[in-house]
Amino acid sequence: MGWWQEAIRAGNFILEVSERWVKQSERSRFDIAGPNGRQSLSIPTVKKTRTILNEVEISYDDKWDVLHWRSLETAYNRSPYFEFYKDDIQAIFEARHTRLVDLSLDALIWCNKALGTDLKMEQSVEYSVDYRNDFRKSHFDAENHAYYQVFHDRNEFLPNLSILDVLCNCGPEALSMIR
């Protein structure tokens, strides 16, 4: 959510596709609020060394897309707004993108629409600035942005989750939560 907060403040975002790929980073994983607490979902990539983000390919050796979708259903099926978003989210998973950057871009475009923002989105032409540390999860002030989460009876509020969490739980109010 911190990333979206900064992008909304700026009015645009540049998807840095020319940066050096760092394994086990936020580029290929996201956290959701599952029944047992925070659940990290990671998109497996084809193992290559010293590559740039634009060249990172998604691995479909395992059925991660089916498992991720089931995790999302378990986590958000009882949320107030999952019903409104589930077909679009499932379509993103079923598209079977070849490159991670294409999956990311489709997800960002959908989130931009679901939030009701019209952020200008661009892809970098060449690597210029490393923005990774600017949008770390810890930058979002979660204490002042708590909202209802599906498993609140089992877990305390879980901050810094994927934008999907606030969308599924808050729907049209998600944008004001982020702002």
Q: Give the separation between CA 77 and CA 47, rounded to whole angstroms.
A: 33
Domain extent at residue 140? 2-178
pLDDT at 141: 54
- Could you tell me the sign of the dihedral formed by the alpha carbons of 167, 7, 89, 39, in that order? negative
Per-position pLDDT tens, the chain of length 179: 777 888 888 888 777 777 777 766 677 788 999 999 999 999 999 877 668 888 889 999 999 999 999 999 999 999 999 999 999 999 999 999 999 989 989 999 999 999 999 888 777 666 555 554 555 544 555 556 788 899 988 888 998 899 999 999 999 999 988 88
pLDDT at 138: 45
Burial class (CB in 10 A: 0-12, 13-18, 19+), 7: buried
Q: Give the separation between CA 179 and CA 174, rounded to whole angstroms.
A: 9
Asked if residue 121 lies in contact with residue 109, where contact means CB atoms within 8 angstroms, the answer is yes
Total domains, the chain:
1
Phi-psi region of 129 (alpha: psi -120 to 50; beta: other; left: phi over 0): beta
